[in-house]
Chains A and B, each alone.
Chain A
Amino acid sequence: MIEVENLHKHFGSKVAVDGVSFTVKKGEVLGFLGPNGAGKSTTMRMVTGYLPATQGRVRIGGADIEENEIEAKSKIGYLPEAAPLYSDMTVEAFLRFAAEMRRVPASEIQAAVDKAIETTFLEPVRHQSVDTLSKGYRHRTCFAQSIIHDPEVLILDEPTDGLDPNQKHEIRQLIRRMGETKAILFSTHILEEVEASCTRAIIIDRGKVVADGTPEELKARATNAGTVLLRATGLAGSGIKAELEKLSESSKVEVVESGDDGITARIAPAKGKADKLSAAVYGVCKEKNLTVHELKVEEGRLDLLFRELTKKDADK
């Protein structure tokens, strides 16, 4: 549905987006991650046709966003980052305007407006003027605008920004639900959001894609992925540590707590041996007759991967 090929954007001599490519199919929710200023919003603005690309192509459902502008744009629902609204309109009037602009047939406008209001929980402010709304309501009004014509493609720039935890939860579930029948691209810098609602995620840093995969695949790439946490007693801590270090499956043993009668340690796997590490660690415990209180394989953490990928070069 969304095909992005080698997209570049230069602002004068500044390169904001530097060769980004990805596709989002129907039924996929693609999370777009990256630090502030990485080029997330610029990319989304090019995908929606607001900014012309310096180089590269964007196709929405087969229609090129520049050559076949109107057809491509009619398939998109878009929530810009700032959630802009006409401040002199009421919520309902604004949604009605959006529905008309989005070519909803006149006879279906009322139903479309009602549905969007219901989906985004705007009923209490329906007749209120936009400039009296709180930030959360403003955001949801703009969100309602993006789904009013039931688009095939949804592009959401930080859809949960400014919402309280309950609303965040609702919107994430909504994105997940809508993702079953649409192609959704949404940006965020909240990592738990990616795990909660994405089928795939891209990490972008200074205009380039630095990671692309399912949340599970990305987590597996984090340095902590496969680390085994062990809490065992029955031998002096230093002794256990020495045994663990001897293992060919381990690369590093990080002691969390060590005493005369036990240890709590984090054992990092050697390269390519992550899946065998826990068994090896258990083997050591059994051999030395230790009492195991805790043995846990840690899942990779997205925030670690995110920091590793986006921080490295910044230090140079």
Chain B
Amino acid sequence: MDAFITLIVSFAIPTAIVAAIFVALLFYVLPREVRTIFKRELKSYFTSPIAYVLFVVFLGISNALSFFFTGVLEGGEADLFLPYFQYLPWYLILIAPAVGMRLWSEEQRLGTLELMLTMPLAPWHAILGKYLAAAVVLFTMLVLSFPIVWTVNFLGEPDNGVLMAGFVATYFVALCFLAVTSVISAITRSQLVALLVSVAICLILWLGGLPHLSEMLMNLKGGWLVAWPVLKLVNMVGVMPHFTELAKGVLGLRDIVFFVSFIAFCLFATSVAIRLKRA
């Protein structure tokens, strides 16, 4: 029973908080237009098979891989962080762009962009409404991976606070990848191109933060004159270190600011991409 209560405290409450943030944003903070776009977009995720397929793929891969290949079952302590969360961002490199690829490219393919942009709303209403809908899809996906937490709690006595931090960190990474996809899908009308390019960029973003790369950069300064600034930039925006910090359970302001500003920048870039598309 005690374990049950801890579970509720450490998961249901944070989940409810995130859900409440969404509701508050949509119903009290943001204008009606954002809500209308959000509703349409979310409905369209769940009336088509996309969301369900992605859920199954994500949950299947993440659970199967963590159990079969990373040895949670044998690792007596049931410390979920390393085996489970370390791999989640890797799946998200594929899953987040798959959720976001249709955001703007579908709009361009159908020609409805013309309709939307001649309606009385600011482009950021549409950008935000769509982004939030996709963010809710990713959130639902993470919430659905709850059984793994239950399993681990059944098997041992993990630190649920750290588990929760793992989920928060993972969600931030997912939101970053989604924001990147939003920009790319505004550039192309092909969902496939949007998916492939976004996956590539997310991969670079993720790998760019590898600790090895930072070390390499220290030693490379002299040569590689052309590549160095590029590598340095990639290294600076690499999301991995921020993920690792957050996932450890250190709720650092620095990392949260990084994630939030990264997302804000991408959404701004989306609006620029849409404007360029029209000119």
Binding site for B on A (CB under 8 A): 45, 48-52, 69-71, 73-74, 76, 78, 80, 82, 84-89, 97-98, 100-103, 142, 145
Contact = CB atoms under 8 A, between A and B. Distances in A.
B140 interface: no
B110 A84 contact: yes
Interface stretch (B119-127, B220-228, B263-271): B119-127
Given A73-B118, A76-B118, A78-B115, A100 B278 contact: no
Contacts of A98: 119
Contacts of B116: 101
A168 B115 CA distance: 23
Contacts of A145: 115
A45 B111 CA distance: 13
A45 B114 contact: yes
Contact of A80 (B47, B111, B121, B122): B111
* Interface hub of B40, B114, B119, B279 (most chain A Cβ within 10 A): B119
B120 A85 contact: no
Nearest to A54: B279
Contacts of B121: 70, 101
A106 to B, nearest CB: 9
A50 B118 contact: yes
A73 B278 contact: no
B112 interface: yes
B112 A101 contact: no
Contacts of A101: 33, 36-37, 116, 119-121
Contact of B110 (A78, A85, A102): A85
B279 A102 contact: no
A86 B33 contact: no
A84 B36 contact: no
B117 interface: yes
Given A73-B119, A73-B120, A78-B118, A86 B44 contact: yes
Interface string B12-41: 000000000000000000001100110010
Contact of B114 (A50, A71, A87, A102): A50
A74 B279 CA distance: 22
Contact of A86 (B110, B278, B279): B110
Give the size range of B's interface with the partner: 20 to 34
Nearest to A101: B119
B33 A84 contact: no
B184 to A, nearest CB: 21
Contact of B44 (A48, A78, A84, A88): A88
A103 to B, nearest CB: 6
Interface string B122-136: 100000000000000
A52 B278 CA distance: 7
A82 B117 contact: no
A245 B43 CA distance: 76
A49 B36 contact: no
B48 interface: yes
Nearest to B110: A84
Given A70-B122, A76-B118, A97-B36, 17 more contacts: A48-B118, A49-B118, A50-B117, A50-B118, A52-B279, A69-B122, A73-B118, A78-B115, A80-B111, A80-B118, A82-B114, A86-B112, A88-B48, A89-B40, A101-B36, A101-B37, A142-B115
A51 B278 CA distance: 6
B94 to A, nearest CB: 23
A140 B252 CA distance: 55
Contacts of A142: 115
Nearest to A83: B111
A86 B40 contact: yes
26 contacts: A45-B114, A50-B117, A52-B278, A52-B279, A74-B120, A76-B118, A78-B115, A78-B118, A80-B115, A84-B115, A86-B40, A86-B110, A87-B110, A88-B44, A88-B47, A97-B36, A97-B40, A98-B119, A100-B32, A101-B36, A101-B37, A101-B119, A102-B119, A102-B120, A103-B32, A103-B120
Nearest to A11: B279
Nearest to B114: A80
B279 A51 contact: yes
Contacts of A89: 40, 44
A75 B40 CA distance: 23
B138 to A, nearest CB: 20
A85 B44 CA distance: 13
Contacts of A49: 117-118
A55 to B, nearest CB: 13
Given A86-B110, A102-B119, A50 B278 contact: yes
